Amino acid sequence: TAVIRELFKQSDKHLGKSIRVHGWVRTVRVSKSFGFIELNDGTFFANLQVVFEENLDNFAEVARLVTGSAITVTGTLVESPGAKQPFELKAESIEVVGTCAPDYPLQKKRHTFEFLRTIAHLRPRTNTFAAVFRVRSLAAFAIHKFFQERNFVYVHTPVITGSDAEGAGEMFRVTTLDFDRTPRNEAGQVDFTRDFFGRETGLTVSGQLEAETYCQAFGRVYTFGPTFRAENSHTPRHAAEFWMIEPEIAFADLQDDMRLAEDMMKYVIGYVLDNAPEEMDFFNKFVDKSLLARLANVLQSDFGHVTYTEAIDILKNAPEKFEYPVEWGADLQTEHERYLAEKHMQKPVFVTDYPKQIKAFYMRLNDDQKTVAAMDLLVPGVGEIIGGSQREERLAYLEQRMAELGLSHEDYWWYLDLRKYGGTKHAGFGLGFERLIMYLTGMGNIRDVISFPRTPKNAEF
Ligand code: 4AD
Ligand code: MG
């Protein structure tokens, strides 16, 4: 059995040979004595043209095939007289494997992304989503390849956890549906705080703290897994469940961290451009006409660097009118981030040294005592794609910061141990995988780059 991708990539090997392919019918055109099927098997962007003639035993059945049917074709691959395709499959037999009901929603016309979200179980069959999810798969592979080639150890951190890694109170609680087994207090009310066999737990918001523990053993580690945020956000770039890549490096500072992030981003962009040229051309044509030029540019230039304080100045002097106020001490909003990356720098830019009050407890305090050694990477079209920092390795500083924020020693004692036992300076970051896919494809909505988005009103599948 051949796959269509191989036929296109190595057609000389298969021309003149008898082959068998499985796939789904995209379109059928029939005349009296012959017909054409555009066949797609999910392995490649282009369809394979199948030609069939009256001599098929089941010509009438094949002639009635509709979009969406599954078939197996045996035949010979021959050069095509038509100009549209280099070769075609001359069918000797066509087996109808699965017929397709007439109410199939994916008829040959353009559908809106909004509509396709309501049929998330069928949308990977469309060209756009086939391209998105192929790029997503390649990008995931590229990330592993990048880190593995650099001696990083891949660590699987837990999904159910007892600590809030960001200290931001955005955790989903883990509880049982079996109310009879749920612990109760003296008044007989359900006690959710002891729900996980006597402890309060939630779904992880980040694997960072656990990754830090492995970093202090392996020197260089990364995680790559699902993370969860209980935010009722209705934006094109927030989801309640998303995938995050979190490297952590020992004996390293913020500069090392940013170098790693820039190298990784360029590696993944290069890998996807090299390994999915058809998909990337498609995005450039139908989704974002400046995509390829922009990505090529990124590979050729250094990322920008500004401090948060400089960024505030830039935004205050911008000709743009922003919806949200720009003020030292306030967090940057998407509109600010996009202005900095798209208009001011016109390329990816690191913003560093944010005020400590808008960043997480674990970030290393700078000498000015007001800012922390944080970095966000902002990219055109998306805004924040990476958040990272040098970590506070000084036990006393960390304990003080945790006390200020009301984080209890009891929940983080193991994290504090790292600072007692051979602690090193270290740094890391988190790359939002869906935002990376948005950036790589030009797709404008996070709901369209994750298979089954978990956003408000999107948990049906
Ligand atoms: O900036 P964040 O919250 O940083 C952390 O979680 C750190 N613990 C990372 C680290 O240093 N190891 O999240 C990191 C990235 C963001 O830059 C963004 O790309 C993505 O994760 N992200 C989301 N993506 C989709 N939906 C959401 N609700 C997201 N929240 C964060
Ligand atoms: Mg962030």
10-residue mean pLDDT profile of the chain (461 residues): values are 94 94 97 96 95 96 97 96 88 98 90 95 96 98 98 97 87 83 82 76 96 98 97 90 98 98 98 97 97 97 98 96 96 96 97 98 98 98 97 98 93 95 97 98 97 84 76
Element (H, E) at 281: helix 277-286
Residues 6+ positions from 418 with CB-CB distance below 8 Å: 212, 213, 216
Task: For residue 297, give the amino acid letter.
Answer: N
**How far, rounded to the nearest angstrom, does the alpha carbon of residue 97 sit from its chain's CA centroid?**
34
246 lines ligand 1 (CB under 6 A): yes
Cα–Cα distance measured from residue 162 to residue 178, given in angstroms and rounded to the nearest whole number: 21
Ligand located closest to 243 CA: 1
Q: Which residues of 20-55 are buried (b: 16+ CB within 10 A; e: fewer)?
A: ebbbbbbebeeeeebbbbbbbbebbbbbbbbbbeee
Report the pLDDT value the prediction gives residue 458, as an integer from 0 to 100: 73
Report the pLDDT value the prediction gives residue 147, as an integer from 0 to 100: 98
Closest residue to atom 22 of ligand 1, CA basis: 432
> What is the number of residues in the chain?
461
Q: Tell me the two tokens of residue 363.
A: 């970030």
Task: For residue 58, give the amino acid letter.
Answer: N
pTM confidence score? 0.96
353 lines ligand 1 (CB under 6 A): no
Residues 6+ positions from 436 with CB-CB distance below 8 Å: 139, 268, 385
242 lines ligand 1 (CB under 6 A): yes
| Ligand 2 geometric centre to CA of 207 (Å) | 14
Q: Tell me the two tokens of residue 419.
A: 């600072």
Task: For residue 384, give the amino acid letter.
Answer: E
Ligand located closest to 432 CA: 1
| Ligand 2 geometric centre to CA of 145 (Å) | 25
| Ligand 1 geometric centre to CA of 206 (Å) | 8
Q: How far apart are the first and last CA of the chain?
A: 32
Atom nearest to 430 CA in ligand 1: 9
Task: Give, for ligand 1, the residue of 172, 221, 435 to mutate: max count of ligand atoms closer than 8 Å to Cβ.
Answer: 435
Q: Are the C-beta atoms of 434 and 384 separated by less than 8 Å?
A: no
Cα–Cα distance measured from residue 106 to residue 122, given in angstroms and rounded to the nearest whole number: 8
Please report how many Cα atoms fall inside a 13 Å half-sphere around the Cα of residue 383, on the Cβ side. Answer: 16
204 lines ligand 1 (CB under 6 A): no
Closest residue to atom 4 of ligand 1, CA basis: 387
Ligand 2 is a single-atom ion; what residues have CB below 5 A from it?
387
Report the pLDDT value the prediction gives residue 461, as an integer from 0 to 100: 76
DSSP state, residue 445: -
Residues 6+ positions from 189 with CB-CB distance below 8 Å: none
Report the pLDDT value the prediction gives residue 319, as an integer from 0 to 100: 95
Report the pLDDT value the prediction gives residue 83, as an integer from 0 to 100: 77
